[in-house]
Amino acid sequence: MHDKIYLEGLLFPGRHGVSPEEQTYSQNFRLDVELYLDLRPAGEKDELHLTVNYQEAYRVVEEVVSRRSFLLLEALAEAVAERLLSFFPLLRRVRVRVEKPGAPLPGYFERVGVEINRSRKVKPAKALVGLGSNLGDKRRNLKAALAALSKTPGVRLERVAPLYRSAPWGRTDQPDFFNTVALISTFLSPFSLLASLLKIEKELGRRRESEERWGPRPIDLDLLLYEDLAVETEELVLPHPRLTERAFVVAPLADLVPELELPNGKRAIDWAEKLGREQEIERVEGYGWERD
């Protein structure tokens, strides 16, 4: 299968090179990227979730080239390939070419660079989504969000944690929350997944414009973890930055994946126990509550 999406002649400034000057002053890098995946489903159905959004791919490449620094073009190409495979579960192979138009060579040259191919077995990414509600019929809001999540194209709802009631965290002058965590598997990128979560929030009546930070809301969906991906962009931060501070996240998460290593290096089940002693949280219903 040779279908591919290609992005050619991408130009980004970066600090990559063996000499101290190249590490200090940025110069342009030129990249060609080929993303190998089966394009037939998207071709037949004309739906974006069945393929890789090349705008997202562009941003992933740009982030690696402009935010990191390597001695070798080999290392830069490796990092770009690795990052693309991490962000897009649909990819089975990537080809990355990196050229340095201003390479320090002693005479005239047309182009110099490296090209690598990296492949793997395609499988969906596992992700954990945190859900909360403290306005209206909270239990129903969470159930509706889970139903919407399970109907989201490219998302499979694997398991739902028990239902918790928790005292409000951050701002205490508001009603108690109901919280849970869902384990999903998905072929969506973390960007597309977050966009789907925001869409569900909106459909369930969330109006961010009229809300205060950490204030009351009918529904809140947070992307807690996406495989072991670390991302820090304006709209998406992974792992979720406040995950380990919150009993209402860690307790249900520890029910689903007790042995998971949290971003602070602790085992989920141990950390849940500690936070459970410090914050007010109570399990109100066991597994399967969302199905009745």
Ligand X SMILES: Nc1ncnc2c1ncn2[C@@H]1O[C@H](COP(=O)(O)OP(=O)(O)OP(=O)(O)O)[C@@H](O)[C@H]1O
Ligand Y SMILES: Nc1nc2c(c(=O)[nH]1)N=C(CO)CN2
Site for ligand X in 193-212 (CB under 6 A): 194, 208
- Asked whether position 218 contacts ligand Y by CB under 6 A, the answer is no
- Single out the segment in contact with ligand X by CB under 6 A; choices: 69-77, 141-149, 154-162, 220-228: 220-228
**Token duo for residue 193:** 């997944």
**Token duo for residue 163:** 């239902």
The binder of 14, among ligand X, ligand Y, none, by C-beta within 5 to 8 A per type, is none
DSSP structural state of residue 261: B
User: Can you tell me which of 14, 17, 113, 132 binds ligand Y, judged by CB under 6 A?
Assistant: 132
CA 126 to each of CA 11, 111, 189, 225, 277: distance values in angstroms, whole numbers, following the listed order: 32, 40, 11, 8, 29
Catalytic-labelled residue, pool 4, 45, 100, 202: 100
User: Can you tell me which of 240, 244, 271, 275 binds ligand X, judged by CB under 6 A?
Assistant: 240
Q: Is 45 a catalytic residue?
A: no
User: Can you tell me which of 237, 274, 286, 288 binds ligand X, judged by CB under 6 A?
Assistant: 237
How far apart CA 10 and CA 8 sit, in angstroms, is 6
- The contact mask relative to ligand Y for 239-258 (x = CB under 6 A, - = no) is ---------x----------
Using the minimum distance from each CB to ligand X, give the nearer residue, 35 or 128: 128
The binder of 223, among ligand X, ligand Y, none, by C-beta within 5 to 8 A per type, is ligand X
- Asked whether position 236 contacts ligand X by CB under 6 A, the answer is yes
The binder of 166, among ligand X, ligand Y, none, by C-beta within 5 to 8 A per type, is ligand Y
How far apart CA 224 and CA 227 sit, in angstroms, is 10
- Asked whether position 168 contacts ligand Y by CB under 6 A, the answer is yes
How far apart CA 130 and CA 226 sit, in angstroms, is 12
CB of residue 273 to ligand X, shortest distance in Å: 22
- Asked whether position 191 contacts ligand Y by CB under 6 A, the answer is no
141-178 CB burial, b ≥16 within 10 A, e <16: bbbbbbebbeebebbebbebbbbbbbebbeeeebeebb
CB of residue 28 to ligand X, shortest distance in Å: 30
Burial of 208 (0-12, 13-18, 19+ CB in 10 A): exposed
Sign of CA dihedral 282, 140, 262, 202: negative
CB of residue 153 to ligand Y, shortest distance in Å: 26
SS3 category, 98: strand
Burial of 46 (0-12, 13-18, 19+ CB in 10 A): exposed
Q: Are 94 and 33 in contact (CB under 8 A)?
A: yes
The binder of 238, among ligand Y, ligand X, none, by C-beta within 5 to 8 A per type, is ligand X
The binder of 242, among ligand Y, ligand X, none, by C-beta within 5 to 8 A per type, is ligand X
Given the rule CB under 6 A, which residues bind ligand X?
194, 208, 213-214, 220, 222-223, 235-238, 240, 242
The catalytic residue positions are: 100
